[in-house]
Amino acid sequence: MTKRLQVLLDEAELREVQRAARRERLTTAEWVRRALRDARRSRPVAATGRKLQVVRLAGRHAFPAPDIDQMLAEIERGYTGSGR
């Protein structure tokens, strides 16, 4: 279902948007929809501070891990299916 959104622009802004839409051979409405989609995609979903908080929290945990040579050997055995 679609919904209507009303946006008020001053005359100069509207003319600028209309010119941009004409350059791309789009209706003004389609140009605005695309601009809004692009703007949403370019913004992070979560705030940067929240992302950093989660990474720092995860970094507090100490999980057992083998040294790199052992990990690589285990990965290789997994690829070849040998050495079970």
pLDDT of residue 58: 86
**Mean predicted confidence (pLDDT) in 45-71:** 84
pLDDT at 84 over 60: no
Cα–Cα distances (Å) from 79 to 15, 65, 66, 73, in that order, read: 61, 19, 18, 10
Kindly list the domain boundaries of the chain, sorted by start residue.
11-80
User: For residue 8, which amino acid is it?
Assistant: L
- pTM for the whole structure: 0.53
pLDDT at 83 over 70: no
Mind listing the pLDDT tens digit for each residue in 10-52? 999 999 999 999 999 999 999 999 999 999 888 877 678 888 8
